[in-house]
Amino acid sequence: MTFQLYDYQTELVTKARKSLTAGNKGVLIQSPPGSGKSVVIAEIARLTTDKGNRVMFLVHRKELVEQITETFKANEVNLDLCTIMTVTKVANRLTQLPKPNLIITDETHHSRAKTYRNIYDYYSDVPRLGFTATPWRMNGKGFEDIYSEMVEGKSVKWLIENNRLAPYEYYSIPEADIGKLQKSSTGDYTNQSIEQALKNSIFGDVVENYIKVANEQKTILYAHSIEYSEKFADEFKSAGIKAVHVDSKTPSSERDEIMNDFRNGKIKVLCNVDLISEGFDVPDCTCVIMARPTDSLVLYLQQSMRCMRYQPNKTATIIDHVANYTRHFLPDTDRIWNLKGFEKKRRKKQKSENEISITECPNCFGVMSTVELRANENRCPLCGFQIEIQKAEKDIVDTNLSKLDTQQIVVDYSKINLIKKYKSIDKKELTSIEDWYLYAKAHNFKDGWLKFNIPGFNNQSWAIFYQTIKPIKRKYSSIF
């Protein structure tokens, strides 16, 4: 018996097939986390194999092979006509595998990696579909050379309003001092700068706030290091709350048991670093605790929305102890996606030997913390990549968390391309305060430069000046 797709999922299938029929060799399909991309993929695979055509399905982690295979079986996909493998295995067997009629890539925001590109080049005449919730990369590179068209699914806001994702309450500190956060060459924050920027602190008592706003809820906690994931688990247990830490070093049999106990409700709080992100689905998980800052929009949405799978009468709770919303807004903020890349703002590389950041495994291309790698005896959980680890201590800063209102903001990531325009524009062409602001940012000028250069502001007070540019700064806060 095949899946019964929702109308919005059927619409995605129809649009994707029409786009391929129109001659597009590559089509990227964007749909938010929790919107049911796997059943859409399975339906496209079934329609393809029903015609006797072969499907190649690429995943970046081996755990996802079994998961999608079971989904295909449930949707009566002819597995004899399917190649379901990790991208690494496919790349190593190109001459041995049967040629597909359609290539489908899961989590295709990874597909800029060389291994993916080698496969696409080898099958250059084979049409491809790529699925992702976030067509965005921290390095600024786009996808227009891989995909010629993008099909967008419904927004998070629409999915909530139509009972396809759970509504949520978002708790966080009003503001965090993140000015000292520094990035590594991989794009996300280094562990060393996290320690410095947060002054060795987590904002708010994690256990106390859980008891206050989400007591007894099934919860996933994301820490910035294995040491602190373990520490938080111990603190929950000391408070009489069943909590367990799990990481890539946990034996697979023990990890499976922990995951099953969490699904069955025997464990209330599951603590980890970045292990529970892509490909993990527990619909009755109602709470997420973020105790690690990230500059990765991909990681932020995957983690914050992990508790938003729909169930009747469910309201998800997101507790953000590090003010990630100040960098990425809220999960249901309207976002305008674009296949084009953007010019990445250059930053000095951190050369500390203690640098820890988010990175992509060179073999499996999964988004993971280098902390996980360092704690796993210098081995990547999937490919064996080796790197050192740094330990750190944190204190708890006594601060109040408050519930945030949903912000009606549209974030257009294609606007980042305006930086190129304002780098070359003449100041005589600047006609609005927003023009002046973008010009200053494109040239790395401080806000003070604006006050003394925007006509009419030189004699104004600093208070009036900052009040004037505040909405513009907020509008572009996801870019600068």
Closest Cα partner for 64 from 364, 480, 473? 364
Looking at the structure, do residues 392 and 356 belong to the same domain, yes or no?
yes
CA gap 205, 471 in Å, rounded: 31
- Domain-terminating residue out of 98, 123, 154: 154
- Domain-terminating residue out of 373, 404, 435: 404
What confidence score (pLDDT) does residue 296 get? 86
Looking at the structure, do residues 44 and 187 belong to the same domain, yes or no?
no
417 part of a folded domain? no
Query: pLDDT tens track of the chain, all 480 residues?
Result: 678 999 999 999 999 999 999 999 999 999 999 999 999 999 999 999 999 999 999 998 887 898 899 999 999 999 999 999 999 999 999 999 999 999 999 999 999 889 999 999 999 999 999 999 999 877 768 899 999 999 999 999 999 999 999 999 999 875 545 454 455 555 555 655 555 554 445 557 899 999 999 999 999 999 988 888 999 999 999 999 999 999 878 888 898 899 899 999 999 999 998 777 655 677 889 999 999 888 888 899 999 999 999 999 999 999 998 888 877 889 998 888 888 876 555 544 443 333 334 444 444 444 445 555 555 555 555 555 554 444 444 445 556 677 876 555 565 555 555 666 787 888 888 888 888 988 888 888 888 888 888 888 887 788 778 778 887 887 776 566
Looking at the structure, do residues 395 and 440 belong to the same domain, yes or no?
no
CA gap 11, 231 in Å, rounded: 46
Looking at the structure, do residues 198 and 140 belong to the same domain, yes or no?
no
Angle of helix 37-50 relative to helix 63-74, nearest 10 degrees? Answer: 60
378 part of a folded domain? yes
133 part of a folded domain? yes
Looking at the structure, do residues 77 and 123 belong to the same domain, yes or no?
yes
What confidence score (pLDDT) does residue 461 get? 81
409 part of a folded domain? no
Closest Cα partner for 155 from 13, 8, 4? 8
pTM: 0.72
Looking at the structure, do residues 173 and 292 belong to the same domain, yes or no?
yes
Looking at the structure, do residues 84 and 142 belong to the same domain, yes or no?
yes
Looking at the structure, do residues 177 and 89 belong to the same domain, yes or no?
no
DSSP-derived letter for residue 101 is S
What confidence score (pLDDT) does residue 479 get? 64
Q: Quick one: three-class SS letters along 396-408?
A: EECCCCEEECCCC
Q: How far is CA 220 from the centre of its chain?
A: 16
Give residue 430's identity as a one-letter amino acid code: L
Specify the 3-state DSSP secondary structure of 150. Answer: strand
Other beta carbons within 10 Å of 428: 6
Looking at the structure, do residues 189 and 308 belong to the same domain, yes or no?
yes
Range of the domain at 187: 168-404
What confidence score (pLDDT) does residue 277 get? 60
CA 275, 172, 342, 430: dihedral to nearest 10 degrees? -170
Closest Cα partner for 339 from 112, 187, 119? 112
208 part of a folded domain? yes
CA gap 335, 337 in Å, rounded: 6
163 part of a folded domain? no
Looking at the structure, do residues 380 and 274 belong to the same domain, yes or no?
yes
Q: How many domains are there within the chain? A: 3
Looking at the structure, do residues 221 and 289 belong to the same domain, yes or no?
yes
Looking at the structure, do residues 224 and 264 belong to the same domain, yes or no?
yes
The answer to whether 203 touches 399, Cβ cutoff 8 Å, is yes
Q: Quick one: three-class SS letters along 384-444?
A: CCCCCCCCCCCEEECCCCEEECCCCCEEEHHHHHHHHHHHHCCHHHCCCHHHHHHHHHHCC
CATH code at 213?
3.40.50.300
CA angle (387, 388, 391) in 5-degree steps: 145
DSSP-derived letter for residue 34 is T
410 part of a folded domain? no
419 part of a folded domain? no
